[in-house]
């Protein structure tokens, strides 16, 4: 997928006009790209459109309009766009209760390194987490992580041949597995072109 450039973005005043319709479009686009692993882990698989939305929202919230500052935002978010041989996801660890979240983030330290993707009967690949900066400490993990799943040519071929796709997490304090439904398979498979 092509990375975003300044030319792909709306100016602030144009975005203000387009925002409601664009937001509806992006939220519908995110539905099949959102995968739950158990009750408390959500993976949002990113692509060019989801990243454009994030950048546009950051520019709007921060009132960024200087070319150098826009370039900084693009540099920060473009790495979340898949490269055609990988999938990239934002991992959210979600607990509604603040105290429970605090406790679980302590117990789930390192969970971001234990999420695997399997295509058919091929060996699983573990997610590569937080390449930009470390988000876990010795005492807890972060509630948000950025993951990359590198797929082999055999995995991509099996995906295109309709092999089952599974995501799993194996952590001493949290285990879950899910099989991608057809809408998610199709949406994420488009990232592998």
Strand order across the beta sheet in which 115-119 lies: 125-126, 115-119, 165-171, 174-179
Number of domains in the chain: 1
pLDDT reported for residue 184 = 97
* Within a domain: 157: yes
Q: Report if residue 1 sits inside a domain.
A: no
Predicted local confidence at residue 193, as pLDDT: 80
54 domain-assigned: yes
Using one digit for the tens of pLDDT, what is the confidence trace for 133-178? 677 777 899 999 999 999 999 999 999 999 999 999 999 999 999 9
Task: Tell me, yes or no, whether 139 lies in a domain.
Answer: yes
Instruction: Tell me, rounded to whole angstroms, the distance of Cα 106 from its chain centroid.
Output: 22
Question: What is the per-residue pLDDT for 1?
Answer: 67
* pLDDT in the model for residue 179: 98
Can you give the residue range of the structural domain that contains 31?
Answer: 6-192
Q: Which long-range contacts (CB under 8 A, 24 or more apart) does 63-67 make?
A: 63/12, 65/11, 65/12, 67/6
**Residue 90 is assigned to a structural domain of this protein:** yes
Q: Is residue 153 part of a domain?
A: yes
Calculate mean pLDDT across residues 85-109: 96
Residue with tokens 């990359």: 148
- Residue 24 placed within a domain: yes
pLDDT at 128 over 90: yes
The pLDDT of residue 48: 96
Q: What angle (nearest 5°) sits at the alpha carbon of residue 40, between those of residues 165 and 89?
A: 50
To the nearest 10°, report the CA torsion of 127, 174, 189, 48. -70
Residue 133 in domain? yes
pTM of the model: 0.92
* Res 173: pLDDT: 97
- Dist CA 70 CA 56 (whole Å): 10
Mean pLDDT confidence for 106-111: 95
> Backbone dihedral region of 130: left (phi > 0), alpha (psi from -120 to 50 degrees) or beta?
left
The tens digit of pLDDT for each residue in 32-85 reads 999 999 999 999 999 999 999 999 999 999 999 999 999 999 999 999 999 999
């Amino acid at each position: 997928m092509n990375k975003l450039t300044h030319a792909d973005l709306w100016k602030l005043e144009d975005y203000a006009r387009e925002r409601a319709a664009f937001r509806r479009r992006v939220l519908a686009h995110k539905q099949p790209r959102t995968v739950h692993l158990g009750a408390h882990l959500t993976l949002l698989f990113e692509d060019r459109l989801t990243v454009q939305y994030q950048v546009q929202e950051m520019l709007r919230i921060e009132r960024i309009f200087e070319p150098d500052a826009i370039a900084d935002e693009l540099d920060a978010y473009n790495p979340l766009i898949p490269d055609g041989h990988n999938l990239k996801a934002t991992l959210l660890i979600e607990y509604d209760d603040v105290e429970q979240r605090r406790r679980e983030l302590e117990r789930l330290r390192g969970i971001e390194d234990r999420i695997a993707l399997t295509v058919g009967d091929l060996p699983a690949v573990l997610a590569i987490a937080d390449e930009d900066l470390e988000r876990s400490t010795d005492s807890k993990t972060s509630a948000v992580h950025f993951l990359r799943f590198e797929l082999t040519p055999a995995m991509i071929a099996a995906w295109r041949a309709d092999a089952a796709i599974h995501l799993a997490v194996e952590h001493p304090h949290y285990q879950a597995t899910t099989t991608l439904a057809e809408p998610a398979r199709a949406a994420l498979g488009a990232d592998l072109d």
